Amino acid sequence: MFTVIDECYIEVLRLVKQAGSIINEKIYQPKEVVTKSSEIDLVTEWDQKVEKLLINGISSKYPDHKFIGEESTAMGQKVELTNAPTWIIDPIDGTMNFVHGLPHTCISVALLINKTAEIGIVYNPILDQLFTARKGQGAFLNGAPIHVSDKKELRNSLLMLETGTSRDPEQLEAILQNINKLITRVHGIRTLGSAALNICMVALGGADIYFEFGIHAWDFAAGELIVREAGGVSIDPAGGPLDVLSRRALCASSMELAQELSKLITQYYPERD
């Protein structure tokens, strides 16, 4: 039976592909860049235009739906997650990559209803990687099913992480401590410059575990559904349930792996969204 969520999925996928063509066209062109919270927290006119395209397109079809968007939040809109259908949008995750022309950049869109993720889409138009998930229906890359790896121990795992855009000394110290702790305990450490794509690498089985402090709901709301639908887990880095507004996330191929990492790392608790 065709449902409202089916209709939402078809509509947002159309808008995401339309937005992706903009990113594809503009990534190697000169851009006007301004800073937000720090000198390396960047935004371009295209971040704002892509978010506007997505929000306007969804609103025209579903006027009662709510939004949490990176750029609208940066402009002062309050983050508020209720039980109402809420779209959580990062128009360009990996803006620094987009500015430099590094092709690891994506659109991330999630739909939450009753604070539960129903749809997750992460689209890298440069490399033509479309990651999708629906609650209870599995995860896909360009329409083909994907699944997390079988790794259950850190010593056999490839770890994804980021240093982030904050220059808060306490956060930087925690990041450096964790890199020092982990570098000899894992197969390797990788960083794509996009939280959403890092998580999707875990969903794909190309990496095994990811964690980050200081990210936002729009960075990981779509990806964490994708990784769970691919057979993985999403938890708080301290080991408890994931809170989409906590600005903390850990995604892994197995709960055993997630809990091993959570017991080892130095924790950092940023201000909530």
The set of catalytic residues is 70, 90, 92-93, 95, 219
Query: What whole-number distance in Å separates Cα of residue 56 and Cα of residue 89?
Result: 12
> What is the CB-side half-sphere exposure of residue 37 using CA atoms within 13 A?
13
Name residues whose C-beta falls within 8 Å of residue 176's C-beta, 6 or more positions apart in sequence. Answer: none
Residue with tokens 């990492």: 261
For residues 200 and 215, the answer to whether their CB atoms sit within 8 Å is no
Question: Residue 248: beta bridge partners?
Answer: 213
Q: Are 131 and 139 in contact (CB under 8 A)?
A: yes
Identify the burial level of 12 via C-beta atoms within 10 angstroms of its C-beta, where 0-12 means exposed, 13-18 middle and 19 or more buried: buried
CA distance 219 to 109: 9
At residue 177, what is the residue type? Q
